[in-house]
Chains A and B, each alone.
Chain A
Amino acid sequence: QLQLQESGPGLVKPSETLSLTCTVSGGSISSSSFHWGWIRQPPGKGLDWIASIYYSGSAYYNPSLKSRVTISVDTSKNQFSLKLNSVTAADTAVYYCARQYDFWGQGALVTVSS
């Protein structure tokens, strides 16, 4: 059974960079033609797609976040990662990684606060 697990700091200061990694176990990130993505959910709000990547490295970004986001994949570690720079309080959310959309991580709450 495929499992995904988000990891990274739970608290980030305003204007700094949010960095999260998703570790995939129970299957290879490079063995299937799926999008591996990051989706976030601000407290009490809906789902917001951030970015996705193929194992080949082709990346796709939410146009409203594109200038601040980088998604990358490390097939040797079976991981993919997210970097979101210049964060503000509006970036406070639960961040999910997913093999879109059939397998999800449990989510990681990231709070942006000084």
Chain B
Amino acid sequence: QAGLTQPPSVSEGLKQTATLTCTGNSNNVGNQGAAWLQQHQGHPPKLLSYRNNNRPSGISERFSASRSGNTASLTITALQPEDEADYYCSAWDSSLSAWVFGGGTKLTVL
């Protein structure tokens, strides 16, 4: 079962902006922030951001992450058809000494 809470689905129009959320607690998201992963069907996940807004090399600036309290957010601007995917957040939980995942959000680009 998921330790972090994500909305199951989000839909936004082409070239619009989508904001995905990930809610945890002070032991995980509120402590060290979250990583965001994108997964297309049949492929392994791809890291988009870690510890809130550190983007790995090669990740578009259209993807930006932030955190407010115990909630992390991923904002995707200028939505493209290829952004349609499942998005997961994950964080280290210091009380569990374990990584926790959100249940994932399916982003649909209309």
Contacts and interface: CB of A to CB of B under 8 A. Distances in A.
Nearest to B104: A46
Contacts of B104: 46-47
B90 interface: yes
Given A101-B35, A101-B50, A102-B56, A48 B45 contact: no
Interface of A: 35, 37, 39, 46-49, 52, 60-64, 96, 98, 100-102, 104-107
Contacts, number: 54
A64 B35 CA distance: 22
Query: 7 tightest CB-CB pairs across the interface, nearest first?
Result: A104-B44, A46-B104, A49-B99, A101-B47, A102-B47, A47-B101, A46-B103
Contact of B98 (A62, A105, A107): A62
Contacts of B97: 60
**Chain B: interface residue count, which band?**
20 to 34
A101 B103 contact: no
Interface of B: 1-2, 35, 37, 39, 44-47, 50, 56, 86, 88, 90, 96-104
A106 B46 CA distance: 11
Contacts of A96: 44-45
A27 B102 CA distance: 30
Contacts of B37: 47, 101
A49 B44 contact: no
A96 B90 CA distance: 15
Contacts of B100: 49
A50 to B, nearest CB: 9
B101 A48 contact: yes
